[in-house]
Structure 1
Amino acid sequence: MKRGPVDLRLVPPAVVAWLVAALVVSAPGRALPAAIALWAVAGLALAAALVWRRALLVAVAVCAVSAGLVCTTAAVAAPVRQPTALLDAADDGRYVTLTVTTTETVGGEPDASARDGPFSATATTMTLGEARSVTVGAPVLVFDARPVERAGIGSTLALGGTIVATAPEDDVGFLVFADGPARVTAPPPWFLDWANGLRGSFAEAAARLDGEGAALLPGLAIGDTSAVGEQLDAAMKATSLSHLTAVSGANCAIVVALIMLAGAMLGVSRGARIGASVAVLVGFVVLVTPQASVVRAGVMAVIVLLSTAGGRPVRGIPVLSLATLVLLATDPWLSRDYGFVLSVLATGGLLVLTGPLSRLLQRVLPLGVSVVIAVPLAAQLACQPVLLMLAPSIPTYGIAANALAEPAAPFATVLGLLACVTLPVLPWLGEALTAVAWVPSSWIAAVAGFFAGLPGGAIPWPEGPVGVGLLAVVTVGGLIAALAPVSRRARLGCAATAVVLLVGLAGAVAGVRVVQQWSRPGDWQIAACDIGQGDAVLLRSGGRTALVDTGPDPASLARCLDELGVGRIDLLVLSHFDLDHVGGTETVFGRVDRAIVGPSGEVADDRLVADLAAGGAAVERVSRGGSGLFGELRYTVLWPPARLGSVEPGNDASVVLAFEPVGACANGCLGSLFLGDLGERAQALMLAAGPVPRVDVVKVSHHGSGDQLDRVYERADATVGVIGVGAENTYGHPTERLLDLLARVGTAATRTDTDGLVLLAPGSAPDEVRVWRQKAPP
């Protein structure tokens, strides 16, 4: 792009449109009145500008038009995203039959190109009972409906179940909980199916290679991250390399540049090259799927190509601002999409900061090295305030990891793309290109693994608006001190402010951590890990450690185990096989001596059990009446029955355990009851089959849902109730009914969403439980 002074004229309209979009999507009912008001303001400002010819009035008109566009789109799209018919069905808890169109590859035998968990789709029709089908267009997230046969992007599926409406600003309109596998009713249309075939063949070719480089390659080249394991994904995130996990917007620039350069070498006219670039760009976006960063880069590339065709100069910030306006006017919900936000900020940081930072670094480093460092540093500085909202820490080795990994990314991308399009035509050449692309992909994975394994990988930072604001002050102060053309005194003042804030925050955070460590009860017996929406609870007794469930993902469980210094698991209990209870099991493979599990319902459940056994665990399937010793505790299995009967594997067949102190520990240890995810009906059946013991601690069933039997909690008569629940979960957990129930029976509620890590230890008096919370209760 042509160099010149930074043109900021389109930045205010883009920022205003973004802020208005972020506000209006959370209250779509106000979108239409807001749109009418903004169009009126735009008209008045434009009329005044024609009379008085003031640039400020023109700027006001342009900003009002930008905001009016996003409000108009939101007003039109909101009833489509959450139609009244679906909202009514969700409110009534009615069973619905849906026809959906997939937006990712699902189903079939688990392989490198098919996902096994919830999948995204667009609901197109809904049938309620015997009523006539209603046409809808809602984005949905579907659970428990993976079809038996493989379905590529754009396939039509039929399924039935219940639905839950999400918050208006969410990227999906509804959560669909299916009652069984979906049925494929129509294949993808031809203009999408060609890409499904290419993606599938490339994923299969990559899967035949070894190591994490093979898992990462499809993501780098075509945006297919289904083969990326939790451990690799966590390492990429911890080292600020997650933008390489899936194909990024930079790949669009690479594709267009290759087409333009190749055309120029062949003597093709500029118009033909631009037309070919647009056509290839559209095909590329379809192939890698329209992710936020790719769409942003694609729109920017089209704007650049059109400007070039018209002979107009191209400047980066105006192009980025215009692309942002176009996309927000098309889909205002992008304003709250973290991928889109980070993509825009990173691009803006690269355009504005790379040059000055590189020139600054050239004072002490060679040109090539300074550029390699300046690029990731510019992107990191621009994105870090938003990244702080996702994780309250700053990656220590992010810049170094990016400096080493980034140069390899274009080679993996280009070679991977060439392999993808070559495989169906010349399989031998495609296989060879895939093998060559594996080399830079493996390098990137190795860099992530190396830096993720180093100590002190993250610098703690205050979370929330205060932390974001402080980081912004430190960043701006540092940039002014280093780059701004201001007086030496001003630079020293900004630098001193940034240093004082950094030192003060580091001291404050370190002090808080020291106080937390000192205040933790060293004799804790039960620890509820803060792992989001799921369960992972540790017990200690007699020098042994048990883990009941593993939460939704390995990274969260690994953090908890590391924080508590837990290495070996003597007893692992998997209450049932839902993802929020077994998703983190990969973390403890090879570290478990003994495991007890309940009934499995799918092949994937048996596969998980087999993996545990392969890692050296002695696995036992248990049912009601089973018992055993764990340290100085005797455990008894209260549920499920040996013959399930009308109880299906899943929530209502959860393994329910009661731990009772025995021997010398009888008067000094905590008794506990773990209820899994049992609903009210299953709790009643369990109670009818035998008594529930009185305990000190109860692990509340199903993350605090309202589907509870009061008598179970009355008879348990626990002092403390532990609720494993994620912050801002879409299920409304824990419910007011459950919290009221605990309060009525005298059980004090602890919850991981507001308390963080919770440690429980016996008190000095009988029935007393000491509670330590990582976070101060609200």
Structure 2
Amino acid sequence: MSDLRTSLLALALWATALALVFLPAFAVPVSAGLIVVAVTIVVLRRRGGHGLIVLALLCCAAAGSAVAGAQPQRDLVGANDGHVVEVLADVTSSASIGTDGRLWFDAQTVEIGPPGRQQRVSAPVRVGIDPIEGADLGAQMRVTGQAKRTDAGERAALVVFGTHAEVARPASGIFAVAATTRADFIDRATRLPEPGAGLLPGLAVGDTRAVSADLNAAMLASGLSHLTAVSGANCMIVVAAVFWLVSLTGGGRGLRVVLSLVALSAFVVLVTPEPSVVRASVMAALAMLTVLLGRPSAGLAMLSLAVCGLLITDPWLAATPGFALSAAATAALLVLSRPLLRGLGRWMPTPLAVALSVPLAAQVVCGPIVALFSDQQSIVGVVANLLAAPAAPIATVIGLLACLSAPLPMLADLFAAAAWLPAAWIEMTATVTAALPGATVPVVAGPLAALIVGVLSAAVTVVLAGPPSPRLRYGSLLVVVVALALAAGRMLLTGPLAPMTAPGEWSIAACDVGQGDAVLVRSGERTALIDTGPDPAALQECLTTTAVSHIDLLVLTHFDLDHVGGTSAVFGRVGTVLHGPPAEAEDERLLRQLASDGARLVEGAVGVHGALGEAQWRVLWPEPDSAAFPAGNDASVVIEIGGGAVPRMLMLGDLSAAPQRRLLAGGRIAPGYAVVKVSHHGSRDQEPGLYEQARAPVAVIGVGEDNDYGHPTPATLQLLEATGSRVLRTDVNGLILLGERSDRIAVWTEKEEG
């Protein structure tokens, strides 16, 4: 079967599997209909030429049958939506630390249900627990927590937010050996200095638990995150090494293939079977089988067959971003790298063209896929990959050797130290390129963004590859020139010219940072920042627009991610940090980082006060050493500030109704506020009496578009309207600037209210 035919078969199967996993109710009738059509074609058209169509129909029917067969068990698991459940499940993936601090892994359910009343089922679940030792591939975990059913199309049928977890049965056999080997390597690698230490396990065996949140963001922004996802390159290295070693000992073709398959299987267990690893390993296995049969096949045909086999076995892979990116990147290297090499070779030296063609091919094909689910596109990805390319295979190979040589500690230490240098180079490349102006372009994730990025990617490919059609070349060049002009204009407006786009006479700025809070207050030459939002890039854009380069007072009301996630944007630029009570070790680490950069730490509590230029501020909440309201939302630092051309403002953090009532009863809320920052993004949990007492003409809500919490709630908006407040929301108004002008509040918003 030709490359083109197998590719068409794979695409047809992918589209069918994608549709069926999102519409599983149609799996049975669709499968039956496809089989009927296939049989009809065979019966009525006995001549050749229809084999591919029949095969495609049968493959699609097989994928539909897999969806239909799995759905009853998935429905049983999904019936636990919203309940507290106890789950006994076998771990089927590697574990990684999420942005919420939980340890997340995929598992296959064995038993699930209310505690003490479990039933036996078999369906995939996604589990998040507090970090625990022993959550390794092959282990069996018992987890108690809140269950939430996933949306149609997601590979896991249920997500369990664990409150208690224990290892019911540790990993055994080869899984135990792999877990011990990985753990020993991670421990050995993390003893090395930063940068590079935490990244090394990700490069060698795909374990990203030691990668910090800031480094992970930098890897994404620089387009280097694929280096910590084990891919076909890693599988190729393992297979090639075994082939070479066996051939040195005189082993025949059959022995080389068999031992390579064994080594590849062990490697998959070591790095855990993520979608990209499974795709790469199946493709490598098919390639070796063609060698064994003496009938080598083209790479695109092998890729297509691998994709087909995997989608029939597990149709939910069709909706997995990692699988899509892995297959698309491989196809790009097989199809586009040569045309791009020829095109680039006309303009530059051949070695440089070779180095650029590979990451560029992957970038133009993967860009539209990334735009479906990511809110940013990397602009520096090709350059970053070019810089990291020489170091990546060295870090991967030597790191893998360090992992496998664990029984010989001195040799393992030597290999780990040798792999550290290229890992450090890759980390520095990611950090530096991600910090460049215009390194990423924000997009609204979805089909429209994917279409736009796809058109641009196609235009760039045509311009560089240089097809014979002049009309196509000139049209593509026009698209590229227009895109570059728009990008340059945006860089100027968000960079050097950003302060010119906003009025300079502001004293309060509510930054648009998504679902989170970040409010700037300026008096004279002094500036305070209350919370930093969830995203450093979004905060930095606000600081650039408002021409703020130094923060004299940073207030971290509490340590939820939507209030402190962007703090890295101001590292080294803070004078004093006023903070709420830390609850986790991560909170303490953040404070130590700020202190090491020269900031003075002050814990916020009632009675703490100070000056910001000509303005005065004081803390109204929390009460010192309060056992009733522990660290978290209800212990948020509540601060009021006013004077020196700053309208008197009350900022309520994320206080719920109970501490709001306590605050009101304490007599600290006096009438006369001009602005109130509404608590907890406008959630329902508010004390009406507090807002009636404040009676602020302006109420500011920091909230993200399309958030899953329903913020701000209609009840809170009605409450604010009843107290006479004009509501300004960052999701609707964008950046909000307020200033004091004679006896009124001047308001400027980035977006007009629709």
Q: Same fold (TM over 0.5)?
A: yes
Q: Distance in 1 between matches of 2:511 and 2:666?
A: 31
Of 677, 681, 685 in structure 2, the residue corresponding to residue 707 of structure 1 is 685
Of 33, 39, 44 in structure 2, the residue corresponding to residue 51 of structure 1 is 44
Alignment pair present for 1:235 and 2:221: no
Query: In structure 2, the residue corresponding to 1:268 is in which secondary structure?
Result: coil
Q: Which amino acid aligns with 2:37?
A: L
Query: In structure 2, the residue corresponding to 1:547 is in which secondary structure?
Result: strand
Q: Which amino acid aligns with 2:273?
A: P
Q: Distance in 1 between matches of 2:622 and 2:464?
A: 65
Q: Distance in 2 between matches of 1:719 and 1:291?
A: 54
Cα pair distance change 1:623/1:7, threshold 3 Å: same
Which residue of the partner structure matches residue 391 of structure 2?
A: 408
Of 167, 181, 188 in structure 1, the residue corresponding to residue 151 of structure 2 is 167
Q: Distance in 1 between matches of 2:633 and 2:269?
A: 39
Q: Distance in 2 between matches of 1:712 and 1:497?
A: 58
Of 562, 568, 581 in structure 2, the residue corresponding to residue 580 of structure 1 is 562
Query: In structure 1, the residue corresponding to 2:610 is in which secondary structure?
Result: strand
Alignment pair present for 1:359 and 2:342: yes
Which residue of the partner structure matches residue 293 of structure 1?
A: 276
Which residue of the partner structure matches residue 772 of structure 1?
A: 749
Of 104, 109, 113 in structure 2, the residue corresponding to residue 119 of structure 1 is 104
Of 231, 236, 252 in structure 1, the residue corresponding to residue 235 of structure 2 is 252
Deviates more, 1:679-688 or 1:132-141: 132-141
Which residue of the partner structure matches residue 609 of structure 2?
A: 627
- Report the Cα offset of residue 430 of structure 1: 0.9
- Report the Cα offset of residue 130 of structure 1: 5.8
* Mapped contact 1:166–1:172 kept (Cα < 8 A): yes
Query: In structure 2, the residue corresponding to 1:213 is in which secondary structure?
Result: coil
* Mapped contact 2:682–2:713 kept (Cα < 8 A): yes
Deviates more, 1:511-520 or 1:497-506: 511-520
* Mapped contact 1:106–1:146 kept (Cα < 8 A): no
- Report the Cα offset of residue 532 of structure 1: 4.0
Of 240, 261, 277 in structure 2, the residue corresponding to residue 278 of structure 1 is 261
* Mapped contact 1:114–1:226 kept (Cα < 8 A): no
Deviates more, 1:727-736 or 1:193-202: 727-736
* Mapped contact 1:478–1:494 kept (Cα < 8 A): no
Which residue of the partner structure matches residue 316 of structure 1?
A: 299
Residues 644-683 of structure 1: CA deviation (Å, up to 9, x unaligned): 2333322222222233x23x53xxx333332222233333
Q: Which amino acid aligns with 1:680?
A: A
The 5-angstrom pairing of residues 4-43 of structure 1 reads: 7-26=3-22, 30-43=23-36
Aligned-residue RMSD, C-alpha: 3.6
Residues 50-78 of structure 1: CA deviation (Å, up to 9, x unaligned): 42247775544444434434443334445
Of 416, 423, 428 in structure 2, the residue corresponding to residue 434 of structure 1 is 416
Q: Distance in 1 between matches of 2:181 and 2:732?
A: 46
* Mapped contact 1:482–1:491 kept (Cα < 8 A): no
Q: Distance in 2 between matches of 1:751 and 1:141?
A: 34
Q: Distance in 2 between matches of 1:70 and 1:124?
A: 24
* Mapped contact 1:81–1:139 kept (Cα < 8 A): no
* Mapped contact 1:98–1:124 kept (Cα < 8 A): yes
Q: Distance in 1 between matches of 2:17 and 2:696?
A: 47
Deviates more, 1:745-754 or 1:309-318: 745-754
Deviates more, 1:716-725 or 1:589-598: 716-725
Cα pair distance change 1:739/1:42, threshold 3 Å: farther
Q: Distance in 1 between matches of 2:64 and 2:361?
A: 32
Alignment pair present for 1:498 and 2:479: yes
| Residue correspondences, number | 751
Alignment pair present for 1:687 and 2:680: no
Segments of 5+ residues of structure 2 without an aligned counterpart are: none
State TM-score, norm by structure 1: 0.86
Q: Distance in 2 between matches of 1:678 and 1:733?
A: 15
Q: Distance in 2 between matches of 1:61 and 1:269?
A: 38
Q: Distance in 1 between matches of 2:700 and 2:157?
A: 31
Query: In structure 1, the residue corresponding to 2:572 is in which secondary structure?
Result: coil
The 5-angstrom pairing of residues 78-93 of structure 1 reads: 78=71, 80-81=73-74, 83=76, 86-88=79-81, 90=82
State TM-score, norm by structure 2: 0.88
Cα pair distance change 1:55/1:593, threshold 3 Å: farther
Residues 520-561 of structure 1: CA deviation (Å, up to 9, x unaligned): 232333333444443333222232222222333545544544
Which residue of the partner structure matches residue 194 of structure 1?
A: 177
- Report the Cα offset of residue 728 of structure 1: 4.4
Q: Distance in 2 between matches of 1:174 and 1:699?
A: 36
Residues 213-257 of structure 1: CA deviation (Å, up to 9, x unaligned): 222211110112222234433333333222124433321122112
The 5-angstrom pairing of residues 357-396 of structure 1 reads: 357-389=340-372, 395-396=378-379
Q: Distance in 1 between matches of 2:551 and 2:576?
A: 8
Q: Distance in 2 between matches of 1:698 and 1:592?
A: 25
Q: Which amino acid aligns with 2:651?
A: F
The 5-angstrom pairing of residues 100-119 of structure 1 reads: 116-119=101-104
Q: Distance in 2 between matches of 1:601 and 1:499?
A: 50
Q: Which amino acid aligns with 2:323?
A: F
Alignment pair present for 1:597 and 2:579: yes
- Report the Cα offset of residue 710 of structure 1: 3.4
The 5-angstrom pairing of residues 550-699 of structure 1 reads: 550-659=532-641, 661-662=642-643, 664-665=644-645, 669-694=646-671, 695-699=673-677
Segments of 5+ residues of structure 1 without an aligned counterpart are: none
Query: In structure 2, the residue corresponding to 1:446 is in which secondary structure?
Result: helix
Alignment pair present for 1:139 and 2:121: no
Cα pair distance change 1:477/1:585, threshold 3 Å: closer
Cα pair distance change 1:82/1:305, threshold 3 Å: same
Deviates more, 1:193-202 or 1:330-339: 330-339
Query: In structure 2, the residue corresponding to 1:215 is in which secondary structure?
Result: coil
Q: Distance in 2 between matches of 1:776 and 1:360?
A: 46
Alignment pair present for 1:759 and 2:748: no
- Report the Cα offset of residue 371 of structure 1: 1.5
- Report the Cα offset of residue 282 of structure 1: 1.8
The 5-angstrom pairing of residues 523-538 of structure 1 reads: 523-538=505-520
